[in-house]
Amino acid sequence: ETGVTQSPTHLIKTRGQQVTLRCSSQSGHNTVSWYQQALGQGPQFIFQYYREEENGRGNFPPRFSGLQFPNYSSELNVNALELDDSALYLCASTRAGTSVSTDTQYFGPGTRLTVL
């Protein structure tokens, strides 16, 4: 158990719909990152939030957006869902922010999103 929780566990949506995924960080962690993991591939970095502000984004379109709240929980929102958005979405929390990371990142169990 890492102390990072995600909800829901599984989700089925249709093309064009919108989805919100949630992540509760480990206590004391002020940085959360989101990753997309397609079947059979390694996770791909979507974006990161540090103290409620976006702190970097990977190669994902603007329809992927996020929020981080004062209690450091986080949301990932995806608009206009496409079939290729089907994946396992992972969040990870750590104490590091803009400084060099000396701590490992703690991953949640993920949300499996299926887009039909």
Partner 1 sequence: KQEVTQIPAALSVPEGENLVLNCSFTDSAIYNLQWFRQDPGKGLTSLLLIQSSQREQTSGRLNASLDKSSGRSTLYIAASQPGDSATYLCAAETSGSRLTFGEGTQLTVNP
Binding mask 16-45 for partner 1 (x = CB under 8 A): ---------------x-x-x----xxxxxx
Residue 14 beta carbon to partner 1: minimum distance, rounded to whole angstroms: 22
Q: Is 88 exposed, middle or buried (0-12, 13-18, 19+ CB in 10 A)?
A: middle
Residue 89, classed as helix, strand or coil, is: strand
Binders of partner 1 in range 94-113 (CB under 8 A): 94, 96-98, 100-102, 104-110, 112
Stretch that binds partner 1, among 14-22, 60-68, 70-78, 85-93 (CB under 8 A): 85-93
Sign of CA pseudo-dihedral 83, 12, 15, 109: negative
